[in-house]
A and B are shown apart, each in its own frame.
Chain A
Amino acid sequence: QAGLTQPPSVSKDLRQSATLTCTGNSNNVGNEGAAWLQQHQGHPPKLLSYRNNSRPSGISDRFSASRSGITASLTITGLQPDDEADYYCSAWDSSLSAWVFGEGTKLTVL
């Protein structure tokens, strides 16, 4: 099943901002948007943002999601050392009747 496209890696300086992208098509990201998840090594993923760019309770407002057409974005402001992790996007694909994931972006905080 075709997945979503994410850059493999992004590096940013401490306290700067990072914007991660996720490109799909009109059947997935362009249709219902994307969810964003953070995963630290050795731990299960954690949901950062879901449908309509909503944040679950307890997620910092430093994490904000948006979408333009078939590309979803996650912006992280005021980067902290603990933000260094893998970030995945995911979306429901209406043509496949399946959830699809991006391959993940490894964020390095310098």
Chain B
Amino acid sequence: SAVISQKPSRDICQRGTSLTIQCQVDSQVTMMFWYRQQPGQSLTLIATANQGSEATYESGFVIDKFPISRPNLTFSTLTVSNLSPEDSSIYLCSVEGAGLGYGYTFGSGTRLTVV
């Protein structure tokens, strides 16, 4: 299955600033997914990033707040803009595993704390 390198692993950011999270995959993948895991809650899909097209955002998430780039088939970034304490979460990227029985592979996550 694919191996994902996600960074940074954690960051503490000031209110009003932005944080860009990077995910590098060791193989070419069509779709990459970005998730948010708020404290004590399950994962919520933010958006799906396809190479060469605009990301598709889920209800409650907008491009101005969570701009995504997908310049090629192995890389994507998620920016969390105009940070507020409510943005403090773990952010994860994910790709589909190689083959039906391999599930989805996830990055190691980025733990964001906004102060």
Indicate whether A and B interact.
no
